Chain A
């Protein structure tokens, strides 16, 4: 039952506004702003989220049982808009909280009871235990195993590209639970407790010389049976649910320069750099600069058109092109930055911020062209799902996973 079903939009808007006016004070906004943590949520933010959950604004489209109000999608948007207008965080989690959504959609009652509230209040930290050294593009080829032992599962294996693993309380884990069926059919999905002896987290040093990700070594880690999401061996389907939420909230993912050197907000940065380097009259560079700016502009136009199409009710193939377009933009921008710098790009360090940026961006462009599905996988998806081209024959699709050819010795 939805207690707000008879509430008019006007009344709802007034109610949110009044609540925000009474509760979202300058002090709280200031405290949250000043206490931002690198990983996880600050105490000030958690305190505020507690109030939002208490007042049933955190997930307004969800039923009352799960801290919601049973609002329609459109009424949910009204709440989100009011929070956004006030600059207050915490609402719309029925749309954006991947962890809580996945748990609510597929979890067992006991785990839902235990974690939905804390997840909405950001009291538990989460990470993703999906990729493995031997399962990147071929994610269904995971070899981390979970074996039932009484009232729990015992997990062994290795995960990689895990951000936030060091502080995580739980990881959303996919592990193999049946080796005698084809690869997609023997995977299960768990909330794996991270604070235990069987979990070892090691920072991974990236090509950019930074460490944003970890490797996670899992040795006889224990996962309670109630932490299984969906039925045993249906983990691939649960994963699709989780990935759908992840995609729907995925931001651009692309980072700008990191040196902190001054970059113009109003002028295209490539133009600024070329002017600074005194090469703005170089006709070859001018062509490169114009083309690099154009790639960016065209992607923005594509996105705008996709949104307009969706508003008109027609589906758009343009949206799926964004990631591929972004890869090209980032690699090309970095290439042109390097061309503008010339020999200066040989250098690095704080005294050479322009070189630092060009070199960093050159390497970090792979974050987008490899991470979250390589450009090549993306082209497969576009070719198959948008253009309707047939799939490549899959030699491992119908045989028992145990018999699939691999780089790893059989276990």
Chain B
């Protein structure tokens, strides 16, 4: 894993910002969120060409080979722009899972396509409960003559409906395995879930004697899953922090220009104090996300604490900021045409994607040994 210098990381971030400023402006987001796939293939290819899709994938497998710090920085821009894409599910969670498992043959076969954006991968890790624990794994693997077959349902699969390849956590004779399944294989059903956040794509994936290939693991399988989930939580924290900051920015701008009672509404302490409180929320979220990225990059025994802190601090800050933003705007933000609700929807989704804040707080305390 390479770590970029401060300047290089800023340059990377700036180039993503420049691309998304036009390609993922509000109009583009609204257009993309109404499509079936929920992402813009042209923009996806541009992101792949910039190295963003394969950001954390080793150079040996066709990626950029950088780490959590760079991922977090890019995700702040992704969040600010409300990008609609399979980046989190494919380029982060699935690629992270493959690398954490360390099956060289599978990585050689799958990761270059994921990095180049040609292949979209989705990880099937939890069932209808959506609890993201080992006990929540609901698919079963059965050995057959020439390999394995999967049985059962997985849910809340990020961009599962767009996936070419599925990485499925499944119980096999009392232990856990990760299996590779072609999305178009016999016995695989793929149902889009209707999401409250229209910029998000989730699927329910069913397996009925679906042919699967078991991936080798260089560490206990759930540990590899946790590693991938932690990387994803850091990316998500970056998205939340960046989006919350952006939301506060456009809210403050509105408060400077909206006139009522002959004054800009931002001159009223009722509005000003809300904004000041949100600044504390958003700046704390940025600090938490970057701290978690740094800890994850460094490894060691403080990863749990830092990642879980970022998970709930950033989720709560994003929800609070977007919810308060609508109130600060007033009636204009109660309309579909105003963009504030798009951020609130994303915030509410992000706050549930890989466990909720109560669970992350519980993990935070557990990480302190209690």
Q: A: which residues have CB within 8 A of B? A: 267-268, 271, 275, 280, 283, 286-287, 289-291, 293-294, 297-299, 301-302, 304-305, 312, 317-318, 321, 324-325, 328, 376, 378-380, 382-384, 386-393
Of all chain B residues, the one with the shortest Cβ separation from A312 is B6
Asked whether, in the complex, the Cβ of B365 is within 8 Å of the Cβ of A290, the reply is: yes
Q: Give the docked Cα–Cα distance between A169 and B271 (Å).
A: 45
25 contacts between A and B (CB under 8 A): A271-B365, A271-B370, A283-B362, A286-B365, A287-B358, A289-B365, A294-B313, A294-B364, A301-B291, A302-B287, A317-B279, A318-B287, A324-B280, A379-B269, A379-B272, A379-B273, A380-B273, A383-B269, A386-B276, A387-B252, A387-B275, A388-B252, A389-B264, A390-B264, A392-B267
Asked whether, in the complex, the Cβ of B370 is within 8 Å of the Cβ of A383, the reply is: no
Q: Give the docked Cα–Cα distance between A324 and B273 (Å).
A: 11
- Residue B226 lies at the interface, judged by CB distance under 8 Å to chain A: no
Asked whether, in the complex, the Cβ of B267 is within 8 Å of the Cβ of A393, the reply is: yes
Report the 6 A-B pairs with minimum CB-CB distance, sorted nearest first.
Answer: A383-B272, A389-B266, A379-B276, A301-B287, A290-B361, A382-B276
- Output the least CB separation between A38 and chain B (Å): 35
In-complex Cβ contact of B309 among A294, A299, A392 (8 A): A294
**Chain A residues touching B, majority SS:** helix
- Output the least CB separation between B10 and chain A (Å): 10
Q: Which residues of A contact B365 (CB under 8 A)?
A: 271, 286, 289-290, 293
Q: Give the docked Cα–Cα distance between A169 and B159 (Å).
A: 73
- Output the least CB separation between A265 and chain B (Å): 15
Q: Which residues of A contact B361 (CB under 8 A)?
A: 286-287, 290-291, 294
- Output the least CB separation between B327 and chain A (Å): 16
In-complex Cβ contact of A376 among B267, B269, B370 (8 A): B269
Of all chain A residues, the one with the shortest Cβ separation from B290 is A305
**B355-370 contact mask (Cβ, 8 Å, vs A): 1 or 0:** 0001001101100101
- Residue B338 lies at the interface, judged by CB distance under 8 Å to chain A: no
Q: Give the docked Cα–Cα distance between A141 and B361 (Å).
A: 46
Of all chain A residues, the one with the shortest Cβ separation from B262 is A393
- Residue B263 lies at the interface, judged by CB distance under 8 Å to chain A: yes
Q: Which residues of A contact B291 (CB under 8 A)?
A: 301
Of all chain A residues, the one with the shortest Cβ separation from B362 is A286
Q: Give the docked Cα–Cα distance between A294 and B287 (Å).
A: 12
Q: Which residues of B contact A305 (CB under 8 A)?
A: 286-287, 290
Q: Give the docked Cα–Cα distance between A291 and B365 (Å).
A: 9
Interface residues of B in 268-300 (CB under 8 A from A): 268-269, 271-273, 275-277, 279-280, 283-284, 286-288, 290-291
Asked whether, in the complex, the Cβ of B273 is within 8 Å of the Cβ of A271, the reply is: no
In-complex Cβ contact of A382 among B279, B309, B370 (8 A): B279
Q: Which residues of B contact A293 (CB under 8 A)?
A: 364-365, 368
Q: Give the docked Cα–Cα distance between A318 and B263 (Å).
A: 28
Asked whether, in the complex, the Cβ of A379 is within 8 Å of the Cβ of B313, the reply is: no
Q: Give the docked Cα–Cα distance between A261 and B292 (Å).
A: 34
- Output the least CB separation between A274 and chain B (Å): 8
- Residue B44 lies at the interface, judged by CB distance under 8 Å to chain A: no
Asked whether, in the complex, the Cβ of B280 is within 8 Å of the Cβ of A321, the reply is: yes
- Residue B224 lies at the interface, judged by CB distance under 8 Å to chain A: no
Q: Give the docked Cα–Cα distance between A280 and B313 (Å).
A: 22
Interface residues of B in 23-40 (CB under 8 A from A): none
Count of inter-chain pairs, beta carbons less than 8 A: 114
Interface residues of B in 164-192 (CB under 8 A from A): none
Q: Which residues of B contact A391 (CB under 8 A)?
A: 267
Asked whether, in the complex, the Cβ of A390 is within 8 Å of the Cβ of B283, the reply is: no
Q: Give the docked Cα–Cα distance between A282 and B338 (Å).
A: 42
- Output the least CB separation between B256 and chain A (Å): 6
Asked whether, in the complex, the Cβ of B266 is within 8 Å of the Cβ of A271, the reply is: no
Asked whether, in the complex, the Cβ of A294 is within 8 Å of the Cβ of B263, the reply is: no
Q: Give the docked Cα–Cα distance between A379 and B270 (Å).
A: 10
- Residue B215 lies at the interface, judged by CB distance under 8 Å to chain A: no
Q: Which residues of A contact B277 (CB under 8 A)?
A: 324, 379
Of all chain B residues, the one with the shortest Cβ separation from A390 is B267
Of all chain A residues, the one with the shortest Cβ separation from B361 is A290
- Residue B93 lies at the interface, judged by CB distance under 8 Å to chain A: no
Asked whether, in the complex, the Cβ of A302 is within 8 Å of the Cβ of B255, the reply is: no
Q: If the complex has contacts A287-B358, A290-B362, A393-B267, are A301 and B284 also in contact, measured as CB distance less than 8 A?
A: yes
Known: A290-B361, A387-B279, A389-B266. 16 other contacts (CB 8 A): A286-B365, A287-B358, A290-B312, A293-B364, A298-B284, A299-B284, A312-B6, A324-B277, A328-B280, A379-B272, A379-B277, A380-B269, A382-B275, A383-B275, A389-B255, A389-B267
Asked whether, in the complex, the Cβ of B284 is within 8 Å of the Cβ of A302, the reply is: yes
Q: Which residues of B contact A302 (CB under 8 A)?
A: 283-284, 287
- Output the least CB separation between A329 and chain B (Å): 11
Q: Give the docked Cα–Cα distance between A301 and B368 (Å).
A: 17
Asked whether, in the complex, the Cβ of B313 is within 8 Å of the Cβ of A298, the reply is: yes
Q: If the complex has contacts A318-B283, A321-B283, are A294 and B252 also in contact, measured as CB distance less than 8 A?
A: no
- Output the least CB separation between A173 and chain B (Å): 30
- Output the least CB separation between A383 and chain B (Å): 4
Q: Which residues of B contact A387 (CB under 8 A)?
A: 252, 266, 272, 275-276, 279
Of all chain A residues, the one with the shortest Cβ separation from B272 is A383
In-complex Cβ contact of B275 among A283, A286, A317, A389 (8 A): A389
Q: If the complex has contacts A287-B361, A290-B362, A325-B280, are A389 and B256 also in contact, measured as CB distance less than 8 A?
A: yes
Asked whether, in the complex, the Cβ of A275 is within 8 Å of the Cβ of B288, the reply is: no
Q: Give the docked Cα–Cα distance between A289 and B361 (Å).
A: 9
Q: Give the docked Cα–Cα distance between A280 and B365 (Å).
A: 10
Q: Which residues of B contact A382 (CB under 8 A)?
A: 275-276, 279
Q: If the complex has contacts A271-B368, A294-B309, A317-B279, are A390 and B266 also in contact, measured as CB distance less than 8 A?
A: yes
- Output the least CB separation between A158 and chain B (Å): 28
**B14-26 contact mask (Cβ, 8 Å, vs A): 1 or 0:** 0000000000000
Q: Which residues of A contact B288 (CB under 8 A)?
A: 298, 301
Residue of B266, B288, B358, B370 with most partner-chain A CB within 10 A: B370
Q: Which residues of B contact A297 (CB under 8 A)?
A: 309
Q: Which residues of A contact B264 (CB under 8 A)?
A: 389-390
Q: Give the docked Cα–Cα distance between A263 and B173 (Å).
A: 49
Q: Give the docked Cα–Cα distance between A388 and B6 (Å).
A: 28
Interface residues of B in 80-108 (CB under 8 A from A): none
Q: Give the docked Cα–Cα distance between A383 and B269 (Å).
A: 9
Residue of B263, B283, B358 with most partner-chain A CB within 10 A: B283
- Output the least CB separation between A86 and chain B (Å): 33
Of all chain B residues, the one with the shortest Cβ separation from A291 is B361
Residue of B263, B287, B309 with most partner-chain A CB within 10 A: B287
Q: Give the docked Cα–Cα distance between A388 and B256 (Å).
A: 8
Q: Which residues of B contact A328 (CB under 8 A)?
A: 280
Of all chain A residues, the one with the shortest Cβ separation from B292 is A301
Asked whether, in the complex, the Cβ of A384 is within 8 Å of the Cβ of B284, the reply is: no
- Output the least CB separation between A283 and chain B (Å): 8
Q: Which residues of A contact B309 (CB under 8 A)?
A: 294, 297-298
- Output the least CB separation between B199 and chain A (Å): 27
Asked whether, in the complex, the Cβ of B268 is within 8 Å of the Cβ of A392, the reply is: yes
